[in-house]
Structure formats: C-alpha cells, structure tokens
Amino acid sequence: MGEHLACLRGWHPALASAELGALLPKATRRPTASQRWIFVDGTTPPQRNEALRIASGLQCFLEDGFIHPWNDDEDAFLSTVEAYLIQHPVSGSVAVKPWRQEGKISDLSTSALAGKIGGIMVRAEYDIDLETPDYTLALIADGTSASIACGWMEGGGNASFGSGERRAAERPFFKPVSLDPRLARLAVNLAAGPLGTGPVVDPMTGTGGFVIEASLSGRDGMGIDIHSEMVEGARTNLTWAHGEDESPTCSIERGDATRLGDALPEDWHGSVSGFVLDPPYGRNSQGSMESQSLLKATLESSYDVASHDAGFVLILPIKPMGERPNLPVSFDEDVELLSGSWPELLLLLESCGWAPKSAHVEHVHKSLSRLILLARYVPRD
C-alpha cells in the first residue's frame, strides 16, 4: 500500500481530482501545494493501473513519490533524490524524465538537474536506457508551488488525454453538440466509478460520445436517443471507435429517456451504476418536450433503473462565471443556467432522488461555459 503521488493533467485539475476520487473511492487523498499533485493512500497496484488506463485527467503516479520545495539548494535536493533511490531500489534499466508544469521556476533547468540525477544513478551502477527503460524516475517542476516532485513513475506520463485522432470531429458522424472525448471520459468515470460496478447509461446519446468512452474503457453501457438519425450515427461512431468492429460491451438503441425501463434490458433494472446526461439545448438538438419537464422525467426514469450507489453526471450550459479559481463550484454560488434557475435545479435533483454532490465549471467560449454536476442516488424508505 503506502502513499503515492497522483500527478494530474493540466486541462482541468479540479475535475481531474474529482475523477481520481471516483476511480479510487477507498483511497485517502491528501492535497498538496500544487493543484496537480495529490497524495493517495490505501490503493493497490491493480487499482492504480486501472485508474491510469481509463482516467481522463490522471497523468501518472509517483511510487512513494516526494515533493521538495525548491529553494535553490541543489545539493540538498540531490541528496534527497539519492536517499530516495537507496530506499527504493529497482532492478532493471532506468532513465530520468524531466518536465515542467504550470509555468517555470526561475533559474531552474530541469534537464540539467535530470543530468545530475543520471550521474547519481550511474555511480549507483544502474544501467541507463533513455529509449526503453524498465523504470523511469519522474522529475516534475511545478511553477505555481515552486516545488519539485520526484519518484518512480507508474503510467506513461502523457501530458494530454488521447491523441489527435481521438477528437470528436474526426468521427464519421459529427455534430456541433458532440462532446470533447476528454470531458466525456471524465464524466463517465465520475458517474460510474471503478470498473465492474454496473452498466453506464447515456439517456440522450446524440453522436454517442459518452458510450464510446465507456466502451473503450471496457464498461458495459448503452446510449439511447429518440431520433433514429442519431441512433444510426452514434452506432457508426461506436463501431468506428473499435476499428470497424462491434463494441463488445456497449450498444446504442432507439428509445425515450423518460422511459428508460422500456429501453434497457430487464436485468439492468436496478443495477445501472452511472448515468451521463447532456440534454438538448439551443437550436442544434431539439428535445422531445420543454427542457425542464424533459429533465425531470429523465431524472425520474433514471432513478427507477439505478443501483443504490449510482452516480448521475449532468452537463448543462451556463453563463461564464468570470475570473474564479479553478475550484469546485459551491452550491450557494450564483450560477446562471441558460435555462431555469440554479436553486430550482438543485431542488429538482433532490425531489427526483438525486443528491447533488459536486459541481465544476468548464470554459467553452467567451459567452458560454458548462456546468458538470455530480449527484448520487438517495435510497427512499
């Protein structure tokens, strides 16, 4: 077990932190001076591997990693690294991978520092292999906290989720409503938690973005849409995402979000562990009824097929909230939804059996942001 340092990607650290909590529900999380580093305790290697494989916002773990405030005392830092290497010996070839995040620490060259750590490794008789090392020591300089994190890396350490070809616009069926895969993946994980808990349902699937992410993660899932054009298009996208093969775990069906019981297989009733909902708004995707009634009926019909620990992620357009720290939105903040009011939305969720747990804002453009709201199933007596 032991404490490991989770390193988050830069796109939205607050959401990435919420995702980490959802994927490692039993872990204790300890914040650090950098929003992108979180100590996690009480995890097993398989749990961390799964999180690394499916997370949107997790860059890597540093095994028993440490954070060193940078105070220009290079010798002190190198002695700490040397002590770490003695306490955490590995057998196999090694390399050091330096990178910077959140700006620069003045007068610090991470690559020069990495070279000096390489020297320590050579003196300790490690075999250095810069191309395909068995073990990589990460050296991350964080500008906002003026500190360095270091430790043996678990995971590839890619700075971004997916590559260019994962963009929604690359799919055969694209609409302006299609969600960015990194947000879709994060929402699925936030709603459903670790793998193996139960299927994920997207009641209004559109071009199928959530279901593609569920499927690529190996989750069971179903996307539902009332319009056959969307059903056909989302099916094409799902097959395309699997290299023109059928998804082994997910499907897209025509149905009504307000009658999920009719659309889902009977043995899923009472066992759906996560819902991800991006309801229609604006002129691009017309709903089947007025937006508030549609949302209410969808929340109710989801409740009826949900498992008792299900999560519900709702994505809604809001007016930008100006300059605010990249932190969760508190429920008493003034959030301007494009349709309906924020206090009414929170009451609506409660009245449909879903307790709001957290909310985050994502910037879209000058006049539009998105709210990503997580709610949890509340059992009724």
Residues 14-53 close enough to bind ligand SAM by CB under 6 A: none
In terms of C-beta distances under 8 Å and separation of at least 24 residues, what long-range contacts does 217-222 make, across chains too?
A: 217/53, 217/54, 217/185, 217/188, 217/189, 218/54, 218/249, 219/188, 219/192, 219/195, 219/249, 219/250, 220/249, 220/250, 221/188, 221/249, 221/250, 222/250, 222/251, 222/252, 222/253, 222/263, 222/264, 222/268
Strands 200-202 and 221-225 come out as parallel
Single residue of 51, 204, 305, 359 touching ligand SAM by CB under 6 A: 204
Residue 323 main-chain phi, psi, to 5 deg: -75, 110
Cα separation, 205 vs 253, whole angstroms: 9
Q: Does 230 bind ligand SAM (CB under 6 A)?
A: yes
User: To the nearest whole angstrom, how small is the minimum distance from the Cβ of residue 288 to ligand SAM?
Assistant: 4
Q: Which is nearer to ligand SAM, 86 or 169 (CB)?
A: 169
Single residue of 32, 80, 249, 288 touching ligand SAM by CB under 6 A: 288
Stretch that binds ligand SAM, among 102-110, 157-165, 201-209, 213-221 (CB under 6 A): 201-209
User: To the nearest whole angstrom, how small is the minimum distance from the Cβ of residue 300 to ligand SAM?
Assistant: 12
Residue 225's contacts (CB-CB under 8 Å, 6 or more residues apart) are 204, 205, 206, 231, 234, 252, 254, 255
Single residue of 17, 147, 247, 285 touching ligand SAM by CB under 6 A: 285
Cα separation, 53 vs 112, whole angstroms: 31
Stretch that binds ligand SAM, among 8-16, 206-214, 266-274, 347-355 (CB under 6 A): 206-214
Pull the structure tokens for residue 175. Answer: 């609409």
Return the residue nearest ligand SAM (CB atom). Answer: 206
Stretch that binds ligand SAM, among 69-77, 111-119, 251-259, 345-353 (CB under 6 A): 251-259
Q: Which is nearer to ligand SAM, 77 or 354 (CB)?
A: 354
Single residue of 118, 143, 194, 280 touching ligand SAM by CB under 6 A: 280
> Rule CB under 6 A: which residues touch ligand SAM?
177-179, 203-204, 206-207, 209, 224-227, 230, 256-258, 278-280, 285, 287-288, 294
